[in-house]
Amino acid sequence: MLSVFKRTFIGLLAMALAGGMAVSCSGLIYEDEGDCAVSYRVKFRYDMNMKFADAFAHEVRSVTLYVLDEDGSIVWSKTESGDALTVEGYSMEVDVPAGKYGLLAWCDADEYKSWTFPQAKVRNDLGCALNHKSDADGSAYTDGRIDDLYYGYLAEADFTADEGTVMVTLPLMKNTNNFKVVLQHLSGKPVDKDKFDFFITDDNCKMDWDNNLLPCDNVTYRAWSVSSGSAEVGTRSVTEPVEVTEPVEVTEPVEVTEPVEVTEPVVRQSSPTRSVAEPAEATETVGVALAELTTGRLVMGHKPRLHIRNKETGATVLSVPLLDYALLVKGRYNEAIPDQEYLDRQDDYNMVFFLDKNENWANSFIYINSWKVVLQNTDL
């Protein structure tokens, strides 16, 4: 009888202890409780790019995460940077009580001190502004390299579990864009890099907490690097010298008497016509001017423009609507992507413009990201 009593007592005691442990886990009491601990973590993903692949570990160098309550107040924030972000599977641990929260992140390298983020207490003040200089007339400009800037927002992160590891993924998008602008003579003669100014104008220097642009004056993004370079171009040999004024396609001997469709630059005669012999493919190296510029986010409905100006004469060589030209090479493969999404995914643009013998823009065609674009309406 006593033996049965002991067994019953031990069984009840074991059940009571087990019940106590369950209460401890659900009550978030974690002192050395092992499996009962809970960890809330945020993983960052940057696949809003043209490769549609996560490039976070390769591109993002600093992350500031803000955790927001249901009223939009900031209840927790943290910044992490450096090598830790390059580790595969990196995530940031979030130290908040169980609940549902909003997440907002601004990410920049902070190498060039390009952006200002306010000391905010609520979500609506979590905007971002470009640091810029001012000309004598008060107009805003930048002339240095700009830190890459990334943004992410998640309206609701569920951190209500009371044990285990809860992982929430926060998607990011890139706000900055890099432009390489090449200026080249149709004739092949070298371009003097010191003769031209390259700059982009836009009204995109302030962003709200939701990454929409806030009203601001135009800012001029001056080229942060202008250098001399060289480019290899295909040329065709002819039986006698002719002056190149605009491109024509020559595949067999022809009499050149009027403009014909162009595929590569060769010169059309302005003097009486001459017979052109069977062309031979050749490669020629020409001197070019290469300008590098960085801008903020490109947003549909705004009117950024790319300008090239002759310093000696003050004349505008070209001034083109940047969004229209950027979207020229969106292509059929990407036609299903909305224009704004394409602009947010594409962050790298290479543009080649050509000068005629008078150093005016030869606006019959340009190259954008290796695509040749024949222009029929230069008033875009």
Mean pLDDT of 125-144: 96
Tell whether the model's pLDDT for residue 364 goes beyond 70: yes
What is the DSSP track for 166-230? EEEEEE-EE--EEEEEEEEETT-PPP-GGGEEEEEEES-SEE-TTSPBPP---EEEE-SEEEEEE
- Whole-angstrom distance, CA of residue 78 vs CA of residue 130: 22
Tell whether the model's pLDDT for residue 62 goes beyond 70: yes
Mean pLDDT of 172-191: 96
Q: What pLDDT digit, counting tens, does each position of 267-300 carry? A: 333 333 333 344 445 557 789 999 999 999 999 9
Given phi > 0 = left and psi -120 to 50 = alpha, else beta, which region is 161?
beta
- What was the pLDDT predicted at 283? 59
Q: Are 130 and 114 in contact (CB under 8 A)?
A: yes
Q: Which residues of 43-78 are buried (b: 16+ CB within 10 A; e: fewer)?
A: ebebebbeeeebebeebbbbbbbbbbbeeeebeeee
Give burial (CB, 10 Å; 0-12/13-18/19+) of 31.
exposed
Mean pLDDT of 331-355: 95
Mean pLDDT of 191-205: 97
Q: 73: which DSSP letter?
A: B
Tell whether the model's pLDDT for residue 213 goes beyond 60: yes
pLDDT band at 248 (very low <50, low <70, confident <90, very high): very low
CATH number of 40-111+147-174: 2.60.40.2100
Domain 177-374 has CATH 3.90.1150.10: no
Tell whether the model's pLDDT for residue 85 goes beyond 50: yes
Q: Do domains 40-111+147-174 and 177-374 have the same CATH topology?
A: yes
- What was the pLDDT predicted at 113? 92
Give Cβ neighbours of residue 205 (< 8 Å, ≥ 6 apart).
129, 130, 132, 140, 216, 217, 219, 296
- What was the pLDDT predicted at 233? 62
- What was the pLDDT predicted at 25? 52
- Whole-angstrom distance, CA of residue 99 vs CA of residue 137: 52
Tell whether the model's pLDDT for residue 36 goes beyond 50: yes
Tell whether the model's pLDDT for residue 39 goes beyond 80: yes
Mean pLDDT of 77-101: 96
- What was the pLDDT predicted at 110? 82
**Which range is least confidently modeled, 140-144, 233-237, 333-337, 342-346?**
233-237
Which residue's structure tokens are 């950024």? 304
- Whole-angstrom distance, CA of residue 304 vs CA of residue 298: 8
- What was the pLDDT predicted at 4? 47
Which residue's structure tokens are 């594409």? 346
Tell whether the model's pLDDT for residue 31 goes beyond 50: no
- Whole-angstrom distance, CA of residue 87 vs CA of residue 108: 18
284 vs 304: which has the higher pLDDT: 304
Q: What pLDDT digit, counting tens, does each position of 154-164 carry? A: 999 999 998 99
The one-letter code for the residue type at 280 is A
SS3 337: coil
Q: 87: which DSSP letter?
A: S
Tell whether the model's pLDDT for residue 183 goes beyond 60: yes
Percent pLDDT > 70 in the chain is 76
pLDDT band at 251 (very low <50, low <70, confident <90, very high): very low
Does the pTM surpass 0.85? The reply is: no
**Which range is least confidently modeled, 27-41, 111-125, 329-343?**
27-41
> What does the angle CA 305 – CA 307 – CA 310 come to, to the nearest 5 degrees?
165
pLDDT band at 379 (very low <50, low <70, confident <90, very high): low
Tell whether the model's pLDDT for residue 247 goes beyond 80: no
Tell whether the model's pLDDT for residue 63 goes beyond 90: yes
Given phi > 0 = left and psi -120 to 50 = alpha, else beta, which region is 277?
beta
- What was the pLDDT predicted at 380? 52
- What was the pLDDT predicted at 271? 38
Give the CA distances from residue 236 to residues 189, 255, 273, 350, in Å, rounded to whole numbers and listed in that order.
Answer: 16, 16, 18, 25
- What was the pLDDT predicted at 121? 97
- What was the pLDDT predicted at 21? 44
Tell whether the model's pLDDT for residue 51 goes beyond 60: yes
User: Where do the domains of the chain lie?
Assistant: 40-111+147-174, 177-374
Q: What pLDDT digit, counting tens, does each position of 3-27 carry? A: 544 454 445 444 544 444 444 454 3
